[in-house]
Amino acid sequence: MHPAYSVILFTTASGAGYGLLALLAVFGAAGILPAHTWFGFVGIGLGVALVAAGLLSSTFHLGRPERAIRAFTQWRSSWLAREGVAAVATFAPVAVFGVGWVFLNDMSGPFAWAGAATAVMAFVTVSCTAMIYASLKTIRQWNNALTLPAYLALGLATGALLLVLVAALFGVYRPAFATLALALLVIGLVIKIAYWRQIDAEPPRSTLGTATGLDRFGEVRLLEMPHTEENFIMREMGYAVARKHARRLRLVAASALFGVPSVLLAFALWSGLGFVIAASALATLSAAIGVAVERWLFFAEATHTSMIYYGRAA
């Protein structure tokens, strides 16, 4: 599948934003984080900015972005519509607990409930994003049980890294935050390794034989393309990354997204606040590169059944 940069930015930025908002909301409601004005402003502001940037960039690949409002209507059947509705609905509890935190310095009572609602809605929204891909029967690399957990784990892990950084900058850091981020990174790595093993091991679900129904006569081979130039289907679905590059890029993604941040966080656990700030900033930067590569691979390694007709494996 063609890896559109707008969609890579959308899924990674909004994932990290929702992860950060969910963690802030839960820890704020539980009284683990203090309801300080500027900490809340920067933390919640960063989460909202990432989500908003992601949602905005997702409209860049539309042919008719001026009609994007229509995409909220078909939530009964479409995961994309559900994602849109959930994303917008999440802003309501975020606004309530944001006002409580930033302006009233109060995270009790209704503001705590709004925090809980924020966490639930963030979970729902990221799940909808993942299901857009996981529900497509045409792409076996997405249509499996690990796509949804991977989106949730990576959203939470990158959000937790941001939480460590922002909390450290405002002096409300606790080593437990770094431990949490470390644990989420390990969970994310385990899920991604399991995912990569699964898509490598799974045989194609369809072949040129079943796609044409001609397997009854023996082997089927493409003799002539229907046209001389690349068409939309081939450009959109036919993107292929060389196998050796895929292996290297997986290593890059695993190192930058999980390896480097994990080592930095592990050191941060036994260091002073100054090192925590530097380490979490570096870890966030590394993870940002890593998650972009991971998401690029998620698209580039996905094969589409329609390409079988063009003589490719899917």
Partner 1 sequence: MTSLPTATGDKRLGLVIDLDTCVGCHACATNCKEWNTSGHSAPLTDVNAYQAEQRGVWFNRVFTYEVGGQGPAARTVHFPKNCLHCERPDCVTVCPTGASYKRAEDGVVLIDHDKCIGCKLCSWACPYGAREYDEDVGVMKKCTLCIDKIYNTNLPEADRVPACVATCPAKARHFGDFADPGSNVSQLVRERGGYDLMPETGYRPTSKYLPPRAGAAAAGAPKKLEPVPDLAGAGKFLRWVDRVLSR
Which span (27-35, 46-54, 63-71, 249-257) binds partner 1, by CB under 8 A? 63-71
Asked whether 124 and 86 are in contact (CB, 8 A), the reply is yes
Asked whether 101 and 126 are in contact (CB, 8 A), the reply is no
Shortest reach from residue 61's CB to partner 1, in Å = 7
| CA–CA gap between residue 287 and residue 265 (Å, rounded) | 12
Which span (43-51, 99-107, 152-160, 298-306) binds partner 1, by CB under 8 A? 298-306
Region of 109 please: left (phi>0), alpha (psi -120 to 50) or beta. Answer: left
Binding-residue total with partner 1 (CB under 8 A): 60
Nearer to partner 1, 91 or 310 (CB): 310
Nearer to partner 1, 217 or 270 (CB): 217
Interaction pattern, residues 189-208, with partner 1; x per rule: CB under 8 A: ----------------xx-x
* Residue 313 lies near partner 1 (rule: CB under 8 A): no
Nearer to partner 1, 37 or 212 (CB): 212
* Residue 225 lies near partner 1 (rule: CB under 8 A): yes
Which span (16-24, 38-46, 215-223, 270-278) binds partner 1, by CB under 8 A? 215-223
Burial of 271 (0-12, 13-18, 19+ CB in 10 A): middle
Asked whether 52 and 145 are in contact (CB, 8 A), the reply is no
Which position among 201, 203, 217, 244 is part of the footprint of partner 1 (CB under 8 A)?
217
Burial of 38 (0-12, 13-18, 19+ CB in 10 A): exposed
Residue that has been written with the tokens 């979490």 in this structure: 280
Shortest reach from residue 307's CB to partner 1, in Å = 8
Asked whether 93 and 83 are in contact (CB, 8 A), the reply is no
* Residue 6 lies near partner 1 (rule: CB under 8 A): no
Name which of residues 67 to 126 contact partner 1 (CB under 8 A).
Answer: 67-68, 70-74, 76-81, 84
Which position among 3, 26, 91, 138 is part of the footprint of partner 1 (CB under 8 A)?
138
Asked whether 141 and 299 are in contact (CB, 8 A), the reply is no
Nearer to partner 1, 170 or 309 (CB): 309
Which position among 126, 130, 134, 139 is part of the footprint of partner 1 (CB under 8 A)?
139
Give CA separation, 114 vs 48, 95, 97, 306, in Å: 15, 9, 5, 45
Helices (H), 30-78: 37-58
Shortest reach from residue 177's CB to partner 1, in Å = 36
Which position among 9, 220, 291, 292 is part of the footprint of partner 1 (CB under 8 A)?
220
Give CA separation, 221 vs 238, 305, 308, 312, in Å: 18, 16, 10, 10
List residues near partner 1 by CB under 8 A.
Answer: 1, 61-65, 67-68, 70-74, 76-81, 84, 132, 135-139, 205-206, 208, 210-214, 216-227, 229-233, 235-237, 304-307, 309-310
